[in-house]
């Protein structure tokens, strides 16, 4: 190859290189086409991550719920509350969800009375958290705050209250008084030291030993029977006073009217019998101490039957007059 040929070849290569350098830069579509494999692969990896880990990235919160964000690398527990809705987080972080609604806890507890008698109490308590102090609750107690605070405080209040009374006093005491005392103790201790709002206390049942319960019932029955006897005695005393006053009134009546009460009652009875539709004949006595005589008071009679007693009464009166000197 001669020198001329080498020169022509060098010129051709330089012209081609200048053509390449003279090409305009690629646009967005050109770049997408150029890197389409890498972009497609990245999108597939991202979609796979979203499908596999979407539960660790998207956290929904429903009505009545509040969330606390905990970051593994940026400060731990956040003081910002997360409200209702869906929230995003890193897969390595956590969102703790708390219910702000009124909740209930219940249990059966064996307690001791003042004299050492066992009593089984079935109780329930209603409570809710204070949303304004939710980060503090999460730091100090955590999601299991009910078993750490609510249940122990309620049981402690129950032991303190029931330990003051005997089984008989508990059985006779009203439920409202017991609930009020237990509620005050539990509310004071719980709201003073913890961000928990105590709503109310419920006593579902109280179970004493059968022998003790029967003995208390018998004693109460005897007490009620004794009270009924005292009431009867007072009633008899009042009845005694009433009869004394009545007797004094009868005595005053007889002294004033000169008529015995027995005769006065006989006159009243005669008037009542005379008004009765079944009374037909009333014979009045002639003597001062004689009582009226009622004849044929049973049902209606005929004129002949009614005349016979009258005639016999008249003949008896005539015989009596004839025998007198």
| Average pLDDT score over residue span 298-309 | 45
pLDDT of residue 31: 65
70, 98, 126 - which closes a domain: 98
pLDDT of residue 150: 92
Specify whether 94 is located in the same domain as 109.
no
Residue 252 counted as domain residue: no
Specify whether 109 is located in the same domain as 196.
yes
163, 183, 208 - which closes a domain: 208
Alpha-carbon gap, residue 283 to 293, rounded angstroms: 5
Check which CATH number belongs to the domain holding 169 and give it: 3.30.479.30
Residue 316 counted as domain residue: yes
**Model pLDDT for residues 56-93, shown as the tens digit of each residue:** 788 888 888 999 999 888 888 888 888 888 888 888 88
Specify whether 32 is located in the same domain as 113.
no
**Model pLDDT for residues 26-38, shown as the tens digit of each residue:** 566 666 666 777 7
**Residues for the chain: how many in total?**
325
Specify whether 195 is located in the same domain as 131.
yes
Residue 8 counted as domain residue: no
Domain count, the chain: 3
Q: Specify the DSSP element, H or E, that contains 66.
A: strand 65-71
pLDDT of residue 151: 93
The CA-to-CA distance between both ends of the chain, in Å, stands at 209
Specify whether 85 is located in the same domain as 175.
no
Specify whether 108 is located in the same domain as 194.
yes
Residue 21 counted as domain residue: no
Q: Which residue has the higher pLDDT, 82 or 262?
A: 82
Q: What share of the chain in percent tops pLDDT 90? A: 14
Specify whether 89 is located in the same domain as 118.
no
Residue 215 counted as domain residue: no
Phi and psi based region of residue 112 (left: phi greater than 0; alpha: psi -120 to 50; beta: remaining): beta
Specify whether 192 is located in the same domain as 120.
yes
- The answer, yes or no, to whether residue 160 has pLDDT greater than 60, is yes
Specify whether 82 is located in the same domain as 117.
no
Find the domain containing 71 and state its range: 27-98
- The answer, yes or no, to whether residue 256 has pLDDT greater than 50, is yes
Residue 249 counted as domain residue: no
The two structure tokens encoding residue 137: 């609750």
Q: What share of the chain in percent tops pLDDT 70? A: 74
Residue 318 counted as domain residue: yes
Q: Which residue has the higher pLDDT, 299 or 209?
A: 209
174, 208, 242 - which closes a domain: 208
Specify whether 115 is located in the same domain as 191.
yes
Specify whether 113 is located in the same domain as 188.
yes
The two structure tokens encoding residue 50: 């979203």
Residue 255 counted as domain residue: no
Q: φ and ψ at 89, to 5 degrees? A: -155, 165
């Amino acid at each position: 190859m001669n020198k001329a040929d080498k020169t022509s070849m060098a010129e051709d290569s330089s012209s081609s290189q200048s053509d390449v350098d003279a090409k305009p830069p690629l646009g967005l579509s050109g770049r997408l086409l150029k890197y389409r494999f890498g972009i497609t692969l990245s999108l597939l990896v991202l979609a796979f991550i979203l499908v596999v880990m979407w539960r660790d990235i998207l956290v929904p919160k429903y009505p009545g719920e509040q969330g606390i964000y905990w970051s593994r690398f940026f400060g731990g527990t956040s003081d910002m509350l997360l409200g209702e809705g869906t929230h995003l987080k890193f897969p390595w972080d956590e969102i703790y969800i708390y219910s702000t609604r009124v909740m209930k806890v219940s249990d059966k507890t064996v307690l001791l009375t003042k004299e050492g008698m066992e009593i089984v109490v079935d109780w329930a308590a209603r409570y809710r958290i204070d949303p304004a102090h939710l980060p503090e609750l999460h730091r100090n107690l955590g999601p299991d705050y009910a078993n750490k605070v609510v249940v122990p405080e309620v049981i402690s209040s129950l032991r303190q209250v029931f330990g003051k009374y005997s089984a008989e006093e508990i059985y006779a005491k009203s439920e409202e008084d017991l609930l009020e005392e237990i509620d005050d103790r539990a509310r004071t201790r719980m709201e003073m030291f913890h961000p928990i709002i105590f709503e109310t206390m419920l006593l579902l049942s109280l179970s004493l030993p059968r022998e003790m319960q029967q003995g208390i019932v018998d004693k109460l029955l005897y007490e009620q029977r004794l009270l009924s006897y005292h009431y009867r005695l007072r009633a008899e005393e009042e009845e005694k006073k009433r009869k004394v006053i009545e007797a004094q009134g009868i005595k005053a009546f007889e002294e004033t009217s000169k008529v015995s009460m027995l005769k006065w009652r006989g006159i009243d009875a005669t008037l009542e019998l005379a008004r009765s539709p079944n009374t037909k004949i009333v014979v009045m006595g002639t003597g001062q101490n004689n009582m009226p005589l009622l004849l044929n008071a049973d049902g209606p009679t005929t004129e002949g039957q009614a005349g016979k007693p009258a005639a016999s009464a008249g003949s008896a009166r005539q015989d009596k007059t004839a025998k007198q000197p």
